[in-house]
Amino acid sequence: MPLLKLENVTKRFGGLVAVDSISLEVEEGEALGIVGPNGSGKTTLYNLISGVYYPDEGRIIFNGEDITKLPPHRRTPLGLARTFQIPRPFGSATVIENVAIGAMFGAGRDVDSALREADEMLELVGIDHLRDKEAKLLTPLEKRLMELARALAMKPKMLLLDEVMAGMNPSDINRILDLLDRIRKEEKVAVVSMVEHLMHAITRFAERVVVMHQGKKLIEGETYEVLSHPEVIEVYLGKKVV
């Protein structure tokens, strides 16, 4: 049984079909990349999976449960965690508090164990030195790492990443890629990552890639195969990446 299953999911905004009858499966512990130009429907797809929007048609099944019409806060405890392109931390709270919130509300921990869990996650993403800083004082990159730590503290079965590595230097990217590899292998967390730029990161990260175009799935398959497909190179990536 796949961990996540989308069955002919459609979302319209007025006359515009932002996501057009997408079917998709993600297995436990899998690394899936979602690629596509601006406006191809990637964010809307994430919003449907995380419950920000409900589909006009189709069904979404997570871990055997129909979550099509479940609000976001009821999806998190089931094991669905998401990061945002523009993180929205609780600004006046400290970094450790922000991450502990994930462990409390996502994984149902009490305050003490949530704080312990949060410390571990901060170390894992490499920002333990920022523990007691107010979240609003972090750089955009540090905020994204904090958000990743918070998502991990929720002990998800699936992590939806929104351009989490954008703007990072190569050594930070490698560190995050190593981390994602580890949580996939050790904790069987499925990681879905949306990528617009950073094609080299996706070749290292993803086992499988879905290319979106005008709300539809243009092509799906093994990463190397998809990214070396002539149509994908010419029309959607602009240059050879693998």
Ligand X SMILES: Nc1ncnc2c1ncn2[C@@H]1O[C@H](COP(=O)(O)OP(=O)(O)OP(=O)(O)O)[C@@H](O)[C@H]1O
- The footprint of ligand X (CB under 6 A) covers 13, 16, 18, 36, 38-44, 196
Burial 100-115 (b: 16+ CB within 10 A, else e): bbbbbbbbebeeeebb
Q: Which residues contact 107 (CB under 8 A, 6 or more apart)?
A: 114, 117, 153, 154, 155
Contact, 87 vs 147, CB < 8 A? Answer: yes
Shortest Å, Cβ 109 to ligand X: 33
83 vs 98, beta carbon nearer ligand X: 83
CB of 215 to ligand X, least distance (A): 7
CA gap 196, 95 in Å, rounded: 28
Q: How far is the CB of 8 from ligand X (least distance, A)?
A: 17
Beta bridge partners of 191: 31, 159
Residue number, 40 or 68, with CB nearest to ligand X: 40
What is the phi/psi pair of residue 136, to 5°?
Answer: -70, -15
Q: Which is nearer to ligand X, 38 or 171 (CB)?
A: 38
Question: Between 127 and 212, whose beta carbon lies closer to ligand X?
Answer: 212
15 vs 64, which CB is nearer to ligand X? 15
Let me know: does 46 contact 32? Beta carbons within 8 Å: no
Considering the complex, what minimum distance in angstroms separates the CB of residue 88 from ligand X? Answer: 16
CB of 40 to ligand X, least distance (A): 4
